[in-house]
Amino acid sequence: MDPSLAVPAHVAIIMDGNGRWATQRGLPRIEGHRRGVETVRAVSRAARDLGVRMLTLYAFSVENWRRPAEEIGALMGLLEHYLRRELDNLRREGIRLRTIGRTQDLPAGVQARLREAEAETRHLTGYTLVLALNYGSRTEVAEAARAYAAAVAAGRQPAGEASWEHFRRYLYTAELPDPDLVVRTSGETRLSNFLLLQAAYAEFHFTPVLWPDFSRADLEAAIADYQGRERRFGRTSAQVEPAGT
Ligand code: FPP
């Protein structure tokens, strides 16, 4: 990456490949998730050091409930352990923790840790770590549509004003900026129901690296890829970069 060029303010990552990482080593899948948590710690720190302001991680999707109960239980255990262990570090390093998704359906212990971490870091503004937990774009849109319709029915939202700017306030991400860069690891090139609307103008970077192996250098490579793109937001090249500049 080039430190003189703009760094994406908001990076969102689909962390994929934990299971394959473990299987390749003859280990149980949960070992891959355990290593994946170490990568969460390292990459969160690296992103902040590189000047990223917000990092969103797809940690558990609404579809992940289809996994074997044992794996779900282990993932929830890892999440709770991470939150318990990380709170001091978040505070010390000035990191705000936020969540998006139906966290109300997560185990009570995880919910309690999340509430505590969100409350105790809410005043920190330099860098935000957003965990997408029990998240799915289609669920998010359906819930937003329901809330929007209720607001119209109650007279709080004028029906004639329907626009993206009004509707987006009902999404889980109402207070968050859109991602500038979306990264997916493990060679898969799908969005898997992640930030479908919010990523409308995002750049995409796909890497074959499995999440437990994803390093600071891999994040720098993703940012370098981003820095090589021209973001036009519907305009022409000449408008974005007028001749002679
Ligand atoms: C994808 O790998 C990973 C997940 C579904 C879970 C990601 C969760 C963590 C890294 C741990 C918990 C998170 C935090 C924030 C502490 P996969 O199992 O789909 O891999 P595979 O495609 O190779 O099977």
d(CA 110, CA 104): 10
Angle between helices 108-121 and 69-93 (to 10 degrees): 20
Alpha helices in 54-203 (DSSP H): 69-93, 108-121, 137-153, 164-167
H helix and E strand count, the chain: 8, 6
List CB contacts of 68: < 8 A, sequence separation 6 or more.
Answer: none
- Within 10 angstroms of residue 22's Cβ, the number of other Cβ atoms is 21
Residue-number span of the structural domain to which 132 is assigned: 10-142+178-233
Beta bridge partners of 133: 60
The confidence score (pLDDT) of residue 238 equals 87
The confidence score (pLDDT) of residue 220 equals 98
Burial of 76 (0-12, 13-18, 19+ CB in 10 A): middle
In a domain, residue 217? The reply is yes
d(CA 131, CA 29): 21
Q: Residue-wise over 105-116: b if at least 16 C-beta within 10 A, else e? A: ebeeebbebbee
Tokens encoding 80: 């709770």
In a domain, residue 208? The reply is yes
CATH code at 120?
A: 3.40.1180.10
- Tell me whether residue 193 is one of the annotated catalytic residues: no
Q: Specify the number of domains making up the chain.
A: 1
Asked whether 133 and 63 are in contact (CB, 8 A), the reply is: no
27 alpha-carbon distance from chain centroid: 27
pLDDT in tens, the chain (245 residues): 998 999 999 999 999 999 999 999 999 999 999 999 999 999 999 999 999 999 999 999 999 999 999 999 999 999 999 999 999 999 999 999 999 999 999 999 999 999 999 999 999 999 999 999 999 999 999 999 999 999 999 999 988 888 999 999 999 999 999 999 999 999 999 999 999 999 999 999 999 999 999 999 999 999 999 999 987 888 888 888 766 55
**Nearest-CA neighbor of 44 among 33, 55, 53, 59?**
55
Given 64, 193, 213, 225, the catalytic residue: 64
Q: Indicate if ligand 1 lies below 6 Å from the C-beta of 17.
A: yes
Strand 181-184 vs strand 127-135: parallel, antiparallel, or unpaired? unpaired
The confidence score (pLDDT) of residue 160 equals 84
Asked whether 15 and 211 are in contact (CB, 8 A), the reply is: yes
The confidence score (pLDDT) of residue 244 equals 52
Q: Indicate if ligand 1 lies below 6 Å from the C-beta of 19.
A: yes
**Stated pTM of the model:** 0.95
In a domain, residue 169? The reply is no
| Residue tagged 């010390």 (tokens) | 92
Tokens encoding 49: 């050091």
d(CA 23, CA 143): 37
In a domain, residue 62? The reply is yes
The confidence score (pLDDT) of residue 241 equals 75
DSSP E strands, the chain = 10-14, 54-61, 95-100, 127-135, 181-184, 203-206
Q: Indicate if ligand 1 lies below 6 Å from the C-beta of 147.
A: no
Q: Indicate if ligand 1 lies below 6 Å from the C-beta of 226.
A: no
In a domain, residue 192? The reply is yes
- Tell me whether residue 16 is one of the annotated catalytic residues: yes
